[in-house]
């Protein structure tokens, strides 16, 4: 799996967990059983890390979302934002600009145009204000 496929699978599992509130191991087992979502160590690392830090990530999203309260953000958008912020903060192998770009790509694939703009706005504001771009250098 390339990084984009890993991210796509991780996004789907994070979204599924938001919808179903099932134990993540059960979702891994289901994904492997039906073979629609690929699960490997890289996918598990992204999903587990994102879920472990979801409260912190939600706080960041709330801080930068000026137009919507967290409860008003769709679960699709929330899954994308959580994953991207996790990569920005905790994944040293992913440049911040790549995490943002890939989040927008996911949004363009799975949501509406205005949602992609919303996601880009939050992640861009976070990157600018936190100085996260320094990780890229």
User: 33-60: per-residue pLDDT in tens?
Assistant: 988 899 999 999 999 999 999 999 999 9
Q: Which domain holds residue 55?
A: 3-136
- DSSP-derived letter for residue 40 is -
- Round to whole Å and give the CA distance between 54 and 58: 6
Q: Per the structure, how many domains does the chain have?
A: 1
54-64 and 75-90 are packed helices; what angle lies between their axes, rounded to 10 degrees?
A: 110
Contact call for residues 109 and 72 (beta carbons, < 8 A): no
Low-confidence ranges of the chain (pLDDT < 70): 132-137
- Given this model, what pLDDT does residue 136 score? 40
Alpha helices in 21-74 (DSSP H): 24-34, 41-52, 54-64
Q: What is the CATH number of the domain that holds 84?
A: 1.10.940.10
Kindly report whether the global pTM for this prediction surpasses the value 0.85: yes
């Amino acid at each position: 799996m390339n990084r984009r496929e890993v991210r796509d699978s991780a996004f789907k599992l994070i979204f599924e967990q938001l919808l179903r509130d099932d134990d993540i191991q059960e979702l891994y087992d289901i994904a492997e059983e039906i073979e629609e979502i690929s699960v490997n160590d890289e996918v598990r690392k992204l999903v587990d890390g994102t879920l472990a830090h979801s409260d912190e990530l939600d706080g960041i999203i709330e801080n930068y979302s000026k137009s919507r309260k967290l409860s008003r953000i769709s679960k699709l958008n929330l899954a994308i934002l959580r994953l991207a912020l996790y990569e920005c903060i905790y994944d040293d192998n992913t440049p911040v600009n790549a995490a943002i770009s890939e989040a927008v790509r996911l949004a363009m694939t799975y949501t509406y145009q205005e949602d992609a703009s919303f996601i880009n706005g939050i992640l861009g504001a976070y990157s600018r204000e936190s100085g996260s771009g320094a990780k890229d250098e």
